[in-house]
Structure 1
Amino acid sequence: MSVIPMIFTSGWASGVNAYAVVLLLGLFGRFGGADSVPPALERTDVLVAAGLLFLCEAVADKIPLVDTAWDAVHTVIRPVAGATVGALLAGHAHGSLGAIAAGAVGGGSALVSHLTKASLRMAVNTSPEPFSNIVVSLLEDLTVAGVVTLAVFHPVAAASIAGVLMLLGLLLVLFAVSRIRRFVRRRRERRAQRAGTAHPAAL
């Protein structure tokens, strides 16, 4: 039943960067001899599309506010990608897990990690400098690459790491929510001050 940890891990990683997951799994399957990878992910058209979209995400994900808009667009795409990869992995494992159940596991873990990522990125965007976005994005890319690579060869260990990262992410979100609220409150106060200053001048 090593397919279950693989499905969970690929789902979690898809919530962070779905295109990287498809690209890495496809490359490992096609050139790395990974028997656990479904042939559908090894196709040339899939690899090319995933590679191009990964490059787009690599750029958009490092620009403040653009990353938030990108995350908003991918609120549906990432969970669907996680569910699809999960169903493919289950089918490739000769029915060891039903496609519907696999899709639920992959899509559910992708949704949780996506919402976590999006919330943390909103908190990062409260910082006035752009470098934190670049650092966080690079860390996300490296983490996804490392966890997916580990999942291909040691799925149980990778699933354990993904579970810990998911829990840590949720805890960080609790902290991020308070930071976002303070940021929004400060912006409202500044707008109120500017409006109060401009009003007497207009009179």
Structure 2
Amino acid sequence: MDAAATLGIMEILGLAASASLLAGWRLYIVILGTGLAMRSGFLPLPEHLEALQVLANPWVLGIAGLGALAEFFADKVPWLDTIWDTVHTAVRPVGGAMLALAIVDPGDPAMQVIAFIAGGGGALLAHGGKAGTRTVINASPEPVSNIAMSTAEDVATLGLMWFVYEYPWASAGVAAVLLALAIGMVLAVRRVLRRIFRRNQDA
């Protein structure tokens, strides 16, 4: 029996959580990478994940590819990346929710609702951490840090996508690390903004 057909509930939830959290960073890369992996046969799917086959559609791949290319360049230009993130404040959470929804068992309505809400919430949290961090970086006088951060996000998203699809047993752990990282980024941005606000008040 194909290994993909024997995925357990923790692996399914881990994949859903990882995909939605990564979508909060790079939605188009997640869609493009998943679609290409399925189209090439690298990612065999159990029956209940057939909903993800739509990502292998040539039209979906083409649109995701254009989106990924535009995001790749826009995300490396100071303040243009902030505008891009602002526009995608609604897009990424919805995309993350839909990905999580497609991954969990459609025969369990309660799990579908949980996946949709948790997937959207996870993507929104990851998006908030990313967007806030990039805004703080843009305010610094070092434009190279913007490019370095964006490149790190590209590499991390692609690498972690490959890892969770290749080793689904580790996906829950990856999701936990991504969640902790997203929360840490949001809290760090909050601290920085509070310091700036206090400094402006004192001035």
Same fold? TM cut 0.5: yes
- Which range moved further: 52-61 or 25-34? 25-34
Q: TM-score, normalised by structure 2?
A: 0.83
How far off is 1:126 after superposition?
A: 1.7
Structure having the higher Rg: 1
Question: Is 1:139 aligned with 2:148?
Answer: no
Secondary structure of the structure 2 residue equivalent to 1:75: coil
Q: Name the CA distance, whole Å, in 2 between partners of 1:94 and 1:175.
A: 37
- Which residue of structure 1 aligns with residue 59 of structure 2? 45
Secondary structure of the structure 1 residue equivalent to 2:142: coil
How do 1:95-114 residues align onto structure 2 when only pairs under 5 Å count?
A: 95=107, 98-114=111-127
Question: Is 1:26 aligned with 2:35?
Answer: yes
Tell me which amino acid in the other structure corresponds to 1:70: W
How big is each residue's C-alpha offset from its partner over 1:12-54, in whole Å with a ceiling of 9 and x where there is no partner?
0000010010001001111033123621111000001000000
Q: TM-score, normalised by structure 1?
A: 0.83
Tell me which amino acid in the other structure corresponds to 2:14: P
The answer to whether the 8 Å contact 1:7/1:105 transfers is no
Q: Is the alpha carbon distance of 1:48 and 1:117 closer, same or farther for their aligned partners in structure 2, counting shifts above 3 Å?
A: same
Q: Which runs of 5+ in 1 are unaligned?
A: 193-203
How far off is 1:8 after superposition?
A: 0.4
How do 1:1-203 residues align onto structure 2 when only pairs under 5 Å count?
A: 1=9, 2-36=11-45, 38-90=52-104, 93=105, 95=107, 98-183=111-196
Identity of aligned residues (%): 37
Secondary structure of the structure 2 residue equivalent to 1:48: helix
RMSD over aligned CA atoms reads 2.2
Q: Is the alpha carbon distance of 1:162 and 1:4 closer, same or farther for their aligned partners in structure 2, counting shifts above 3 Å?
A: closer
Q: Alignment length, in residue pairs?
A: 188
The answer to whether the 8 Å contact 2:18/2:175 transfers is yes
Secondary structure of the structure 1 residue equivalent to 2:88: helix
